[in-house]
């Protein structure tokens, strides 16, 4: 197995960071690696807002649901779906952009932001840094948009803590490979049994790491997926121009 495969297969979400700063040179290389990823139509409809200021990181931690590691990590990167800069290019060509108003545009933008997030995580971890992605940036999206001074046709989709790890996190188990990889066509047979087995694995995992509040995978999903857990996303995204009506 090569080093990249080993790195990716050993992924963990680290939520404990030391005070050691991340150098500008190293951070520049990590961000450059993320920028070199592909994007739909070469639209490059992703931008990064890099936050180092401690007070600003503390505010983002609060907006994200009081996640202390956001304030603790020396670098926090907000991954922004950005159809503002593409709209400037379309206008320069003498036309008006509408793709951001469509479901296809939102989907393409979200996929490209996901590619960027994955590249950022791999690049940072390859340099000996720890990371944890933060979906909580969508909890109070308007406040974050105001804080980061984001223009229309943009939306903060995810964040990423980056820093040197103080206490390494354990690696969380995954569902059986057969639930993930489907050769030639989707295979539903056996999924209920695999989910049942994984529920038991997760309960054991929480017990082993001393998390008394840990529950099974199914129970955890039921806590979140039976509601829209970030209900402001639709309204604020529409206000930013993402109408999803095309």
pTM, 2 dp = 0.95
pLDDT of residue 1: 80
Low-confidence ranges of the chain (pLDDT < 70): none
pLDDT of residue 45: 97
End-to-end CA distance of the chain: 45
pLDDT of residue 59: 98
Model pLDDT for residues 170-220, shown as the tens digit of each residue:
999 999 999 999 999 999 999 999 999 999 999 999 999 999 999 999 999
Q: Are 156 and 138 a contacting pair, CB within 8 Å?
A: yes
Q: Are 163 and 136 a contacting pair, CB within 8 Å?
A: no
Is 78 strand, coil or helix?
Answer: strand
**Cα 78 to Cα 194: distance, rounded to the nearest angstrom:** 35
Q: What is the CATH number of domain 3-169+231-239?
A: 3.40.109.10
| Site of tokens 């909580």 | 136
């Amino acid at each position: 197995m090569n080093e990249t495969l080993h790195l990716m297969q050993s992924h963990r979400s680290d939520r404990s960071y030391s005070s050691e700063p991340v150098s500008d040179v190293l951070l520049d290389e990590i961000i450059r690696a993320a920028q070199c990823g592909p994007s739909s139509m070469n639209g490059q409809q992703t931008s990064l807002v890099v936050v180092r200021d401690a007070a600003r990181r503390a505010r983002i931690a609060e907006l994200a649901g009081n996640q202390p590691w956001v304030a603790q990590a020396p670098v926090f990167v907000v991954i922004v779906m950005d159809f503002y800069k593409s709209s400037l290019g379309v206008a320069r060509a003498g036309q008006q952009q509408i793709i951001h108003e469509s479901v296809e545009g939102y989907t393409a933008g979200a996929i490209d932001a996901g590619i960027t997030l994955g590249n950022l995580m791999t690049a940072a971890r390859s340099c000996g840094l720890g990371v944890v992605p933060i979906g909580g940036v969508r909890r109070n999206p308007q406040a974050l948009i105001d804080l980061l001074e984001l223009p229309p046709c943009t939306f903060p989709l995810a964040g990423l803590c980056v820093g040197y790890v103080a206490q390494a996190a354990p690696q969380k188990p995954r569902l059986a490979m057969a639930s993930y990889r489907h050769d030639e066509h989707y295979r539903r047979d056996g999924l209920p049994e695999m989910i049942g087995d994984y529920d038991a694995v997760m309960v054991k995992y929480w017990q082993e790491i001393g998390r008394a509040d840990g529950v099974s995978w199914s129970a955890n999903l039921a806590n979140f997926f039976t509601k829209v857990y970030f209900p402001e996303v639709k309204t604020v995204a529409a206000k930013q121009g993402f109408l999803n009506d095309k």
